[in-house]
Structure 1
Amino acid sequence: MLTDFFILMKQELVITVIIFILLLLKIGTDMSNESFINLTNGLLLLNLVAGFVGSQSGTLFDGMFLTNPLIVLEKNILSLGTLIVSLQSADWLKRHDHVSEFYILLLCTLLGMFFMISAGNLLMFYVGLELSSIPMAAMANFDLAKKKSSEAAMKFIISSAFASGLLLFGISLVYGATGTLSFSELSLQITGAPLQIFAFVLLLAGFAFKISVVPFHLWTADVYEGAPVAVTSWLSVISKGSVLFVFVAVLNSVFRSLTDTWYNMLFVLSVLTILIGNLFAIRQNNFKRFLAFSSIAQIGFILVGITGSPNYAITSVVYFVLVYVFSNLAAFGVVALVSAVTGREQVSDYKGFYKTNPVLSWVLTIALFSLAGVPPTAGFFGKFFLLLSGAGKGNYVLIVIAALNMIISFYYYLRIVKAIFMDANEQPIEKLSIPAYPRLAMIICVAGIIVTGLAGYLYDYIYALTYRL
């Protein structure tokens, strides 16, 4: 039994050990920021490697905690994204007074996400969600000298508390209507009674807040703009990815008997999310706000994929989140470097960027092409599989709306590419040196964008994992 505990909870235990190591180093030593960052990046790499070794399927704590190859893969995707974010933020953190606190908060958040993904019980899911959400508010306020950062933290904690309240109310109604919180038992107890549908609506609203679905998206742009770039990239990719993994699994297991009900809800929400995300992205000049509305539009495409049959929905979502990790973090990597050195975060600042920083320009362009879905980048295949999954239900109206919105998204992504390569700027961003860690992160992201799109077997591998569930 003890052996099963260590094997099945391996990834959570590794994160916990790393947190304790960092705490002891913070208390007992006086390491320089650079040494602390080097050690932490080594530990994060070790965590990523450990995720691919010796994994098994099984359950613990009477089914409250469960794991299988697909869950292990999802955690590994988040671990990879965490390592990339750490590499990108190294140059910024070297000049910060609270490096150890940042990493401890980051890993506590990641630990909560791991528990949330492995939850086999609504209560376990809620505990994991809170563990992942509360430290993020402190991270959003990590630029202590900036009022915008404090404002971002306040808006995030208030909206997060409201979303958590809706989720907890929905969970209580589910328990009152069925007498259980276990996912396996709930799938048998959910019959479509009015109280159960009302409880589901509350749960859906809570999830929608966490992943910025319209009309629950109003916090997103302000928080993204006020938080440090490293935290913004974490929120946009890792945080949303973890909730999406749980969301698609819960819909297709616990609430599978309500498919007709939630399909109609997701139809409306996906159309609204894509439209609003695209229309507001066109108007943005701040790069972080632009990427915020871009991420909202991407969530709309993910909702289209979720409306498909269970296996294809789960496969397309996991594949797209992997692609999104590389694409969005590549864009945020360039923005983070420019912001850390120059403090400039406006889209107009990037006019003529290619003349002074050709390498960074190409990294940003490849990332934007992938986010737009331009072939042969991985983003094209990610959106293609999402639309293909949504088409499985035969609702071609939704697919046509999503495809037309892809054309709209081309405009605002290519607008930035045009500014980078073709527009003149009287005060262009000066030539920037790329430190070792951010350079490594960009290489990983660009390679991921190219290789993930061309490696067709990866989608088949994820589908094989979902088929065995």
Structure 2
Amino acid sequence: MPVNLSLIIPEMALAGLGLALLILGLIVPKDSRQGLGWLTALALAAVAGLTVACWGNQGTTMFGLYIVDGYAYFFKLTFLVAAALVVLGSQGFVDRQLGGWSEYYSTLVFATLGMVVMASAGDFMTMYLGLELMTIAFIILVCFRRTDGKSVEAGMKYVLLAGMSSAVLLYGLSLVYGITGSVAVLEVGRAAALNPTPALMLGVVLLLAGLGFKISAVPFHMWSPDIYEGAPTPVTAFLAVGSKAASFAVLLRIFVAALPGIWDSWNTVVAILAAVTIIVGNLVAIPQTNLKRMLAYSSIAQAGYILVGLVTASEAGIKGVMFYAFLYVFATVGAFTVAAHFYNATGSDEIKDYAGLAQRSPLMAAVLVVSMLSMAGIPPLAGFVGKFYLFKTIVDNYLWLAFIGLIMSMVSVYYYLRVALVMYRDEPLDGTPIAVGGPVWATLVVTMLVTLLLGVYPGPVSEVVNAAAHTFFLH
């Protein structure tokens, strides 16, 4: 079967953009590179528009090893929106803190390309190539501040732990291949249903462990707090939303499409994993005094909430995962953009130093509160709708998990409002206003408005997600 290039237009566009940014970095004088951020954000937005334009062109290519359906298109759009927002909101931080503009932007584009490949992977090899492209790009981005000890330490930890998780994942993939005789997702599904051996079960355990690292599920979460704290803040934002969403896209493709018969025996295990992740993430976030570290543990809890959609492995569960992953982009990017801009202005990530932020920058304080309350699931914000879609799929059979999710959401309100109290109640140590420039202002306004709009009127996005989730089962 010849390669249908029309199905991989977004991938080709991203690869071309990444290479073009590298070349521009060599050609354009260093003093004239300030416009690369705007160029990258606009180019990513154009690729997102191209993805929407290609939505009706669905099918498989490369002998079925690359699946382009509504499910893949929706996740690709999620990654591109996240990348564009991160680039737009990080320009001031990059100009002041990182210096190597073209390398930063091109590496971020290649990380996005890895995620896009993961969303469409129809076999284990393609999935692994996309995963490693994303991981290697993130390793570079995490330690981009070469003179910062925390950034270098975070990069070293990420290299070691990512290598370990990749080894576990590869061993699991090799066991599944050895039992089923195929690396193609759909063929594995047919073979696994006929031969559910103990070795195959061990392969499933190793697959879950390897991908559990990528989504920061407990007990594979140990890397997140240190790496989130040490990495440049815009990188932390993209790592929290993009890497997590891409890994969930692969989790669903492998376990629901490739191992549907086996997965029926693992529902309770995944439910327990989701519950433990939600509990640990929220409880350990309470005593944190560093905002990025607190958001890291909050991100672990969010992974637990998204795992709830995997428990039933139904069309409704997949819809819940996709919808929550999309809205999670705006809340997380909004919160981390505030953290990045605040660090750029003050040099601190400590929560106590956010005292009086409502006086110094009312927009930053408002966006941070809206983003955190959305992640807590407070109506009428988008996070409430997302959690409703997730938990309504398990109420009949896993009511105890729904109760845990509700209780832990209330716990999260406590540590989120603690930050709000510092910003609105306490007097600032330095009353100097914090100016919010054009790109950061645009990012903050967009993330806040979308978070509010999706909470009040989720209908159009919900319909798109419904249609995309339906295509997942048509192969």
TM over 0.5: yes
Q: Is the 8 A contact 2:70 2:467 kept in 1?
A: no
Q: 1:25 to 1:273 in 2, by over 3 A?
A: same
What is residue 48 of structure 1 aligned with on the other side? 48
Query: Please, which moves more after superposition, 299-308 or 310-319?
Result: 299-308
Q: 1:397 to 1:5 in 2, by over 3 A?
A: same
- TM-superposed CA distance for 1:428, in Å, is 4.1
SS at match of 1:213: coil
The counterpart of 1:170, out of the listed 168, 172, 187, is: 172
What is residue 139 of structure 2 aligned with on the other side? 137
SS at match of 1:370: helix
Measure, in 2, the Cα distance between the counterparts of 1:429 and 1:404: 38
Measure, in 2, the Cα distance between the counterparts of 1:307 and 1:340: 41
Q: Is the 8 A contact 2:275 2:405 kept in 1?
A: yes
Measure, in 2, the Cα distance between the counterparts of 1:195 and 1:94: 51
What is residue 395 of structure 1 aligned with on the other side? 398
SS at match of 1:261: coil
- TM-superposed CA distance for 1:10, in Å, is 0.8
- TM-superposed CA distance for 1:33, in Å, is 2.5
What is residue 24 of structure 2 aligned with on the other side? 25
Q: How does 1:210-225 map to 2 (within 5 A)?
A: 210-225=214-229
What is residue 367 of structure 2 aligned with on the other side? 363
Measure, in 2, the Cα distance between the counterparts of 1:403 and 1:97: 44
Structure 1 stretches of 5 or more lacking a match? none
Measure, in 2, the Cα distance between the counterparts of 1:405 and 1:261: 27
Structure 2 stretches of 5 or more lacking a match? none
What is residue 301 of structure 2 aligned with on the other side? 297
User: Aligned partner of 1:7: which letter?
Assistant: S
What is residue 319 of structure 2 aligned with on the other side? 315
- TM-superposed CA distance for 1:309, in Å, is 4.3
Measure, in 2, the Cα distance between the counterparts of 1:40 and 1:456: 31
SS at match of 1:170: helix
Q: Is the 8 A contact 2:40 2:84 kept in 1?
A: no
What is residue 155 of structure 2 aligned with on the other side? 153
Query: Please, which moves more after superposition, 439-448 or 18-27?
Result: 18-27
Measure, in 2, the Cα distance between the counterparts of 1:36 and 1:356: 29
Measure, in 2, the Cα distance between the counterparts of 1:41 and 1:324: 19
Q: How does 1:117-136 map to 2 (within 5 A)?
A: 117-136=119-138
Measure, in 1, the Cα distance between the counterparts of 2:470 and 2:49: 25
Identity percentage of aligned residues: 32
Measure, in 2, the Cα distance between the counterparts of 1:455 and 1:271: 26
Q: How does 1:28-427 map to 2 (within 5 A)?
A: 28-30=27-29, 32-55=32-55, 56-95=57-96, 96-191=98-193, 192-392=196-396, 394-425=397-428, 427=429
Q: Is the 8 A contact 1:305 1:388 kept in 2?
A: no
Measure, in 1, the Cα distance between the counterparts of 2:346 and 2:439: 18
Query: Please, which moves more after superposition, 23-32 or 78-87?
Result: 23-32
Measure, in 2, the Cα distance between the counterparts of 1:247 and 1:319: 16
Q: 1:24 to 1:278 in 2, by over 3 A?
A: same
Task: Give TM-score, length-normalised by structure 2.
Answer: 0.95
User: Aligned partner of 1:317: which letter?
Assistant: V
- TM-superposed CA distance for 1:351, in Å, is 1.9
Give the aligned CA root-mean-square deviation in angstroms: 1.5
Q: Is the 8 A contact 2:74 2:468 kept in 1?
A: no
SS at match of 2:379: coil
SS at match of 1:391: coil
Q: How does 1:8-23 map to 2 (within 5 A)?
A: 8-23=7-22
Measure, in 2, the Cα distance between the counterparts of 1:309 and 1:30: 52
Residues 26-80 of structure 1 show CA distances to partners (whole Å, capped at 9, x for unaligned) of 2233261212223222222211211111331111111111101221111011100
SS at match of 2:60: strand
- TM-superposed CA distance for 1:380, in Å, is 0.7
Q: 1:49 to 1:460 in 2, by over 3 A?
A: closer
- TM-superposed CA distance for 1:372, in Å, is 0.9
Q: Is the 8 A contact 2:41 2:85 kept in 1?
A: no
User: Aligned partner of 2:27: which letter?
Assistant: G
User: Aligned partner of 1:324: which letter?
Assistant: Y
Measure, in 1, the Cα distance between the counterparts of 2:49 and 2:254: 28
Query: Please, which moves more after superposition, 4-13 or 157-166?
Result: 4-13
Task: Give TM-score, length-normalised by structure 1.
Answer: 0.96
User: Aligned partner of 2:29: which letter?
Assistant: D
4+ long deviations beyond 4 Å = none
User: Aligned partner of 1:89: which letter?
Assistant: S
Measure, in 2, the Cα distance between the counterparts of 1:24 and 1:406: 47
SS at match of 2:67: strand
- TM-superposed CA distance for 1:249, in Å, is 2.6
Measure, in 1, the Cα distance between the counterparts of 2:403 and 2:40: 46
* Number of equivalent positions: 466
- TM-superposed CA distance for 1:429, in Å, is 6.1
Q: Is the 8 A contact 1:270 1:303 kept in 2?
A: yes
